[in-house]
Copies of this chain bind each other. A is one copy, B any other.
Amino acid sequence: MSEGVREKPLASRTLYTGRILNLRVDEVELPSGRSAIREVVEHAPAVGILPVLEDGSILLVRQFRYAVGEMMLEIPAGLLEGDEPPEDAARRELQEEIGYYPGRLRKISAIYNSPGFCTELMHLYLATELRPSKLQEDEDEFISVVRVKPEEIPLLLTSGELRDAKTLAALSWWRAIGTGQATWD
């Protein structure tokens, strides 16, 4: 990458330090030499997991998302706890949110959900060889599990039920690399 297009931090001010995010406002020097303000939401790294059953069905979670005021259908996901390795977080979240342990966990990517203002990096996994194993959910999560057959995905897309970016990103990957089972068309 050419150094010339980077933006250099000149000053940084943390305005809020919270539970799942911090807010920072930086002054930066643009490639043109002018300066600009960058509002940055600092957010812990996270994992998102696409769990695929033997028949090619996937397991999604439905939950109320307060920020957008809607019930959302998403892949299981969650924040890393402390310095927990992403693979461990993926195994933990799967057991908490859908009640399965992944016999096989394949890292497919690490994506940014909102690179325009947010630091959050999300490690994405495909989980297969699932076997039942339940861990207690977080106290303030109220989640239901939804089993979706591959042939149902196009309708969930066009009906607007599937509108979470990380979930669509995971489906994009699944479509591209497959898992040996049927995928969606």
Hey, which bits of chain A sit against chain B, CB under 8 A? 1, 5-7, 15-16, 18-21, 23, 25-26, 28, 30-32, 34, 36-41, 43, 63-68, 70-72, 74, 77, 109-122, 139-140, 142, 153-154, 157, 160, 163-166, 168-169, 171-173, 175-176, 184-185
Q: A34-B139, A157-B176, A163-B109 are in contact. Are A67 and B117 (CB under 8 A)?
A: yes
Q: A65-B115, A114-B113 are in contact. Are A19 and B39 (CB under 8 A)?
A: yes
Interchain CB contact under 8 A, B176 and A115: no
CB-based contact A112/B64 at 8 Å: no
Q: Which chain B residue shows the least CB distance to A153?
A: B176
User: Contact between B39 and A117 (Cβ–Cβ < 8 Å)?
Assistant: no
Are A18 and B7 touching (Cβ within 8 A)?
no
Closest 4 CB pairs of A and B: A168-B169, A172-B172, A165-B165, A65-B115
Having A67-B118, A70-B115, A110-B160, one finds 12 other A-B pairs with CB under 8 Å, namely A1-B64, A19-B39, A26-B66, A30-B142, A40-B67, A41-B117, A43-B117, A68-B115, A74-B115, A114-B165, A118-B118, A176-B185
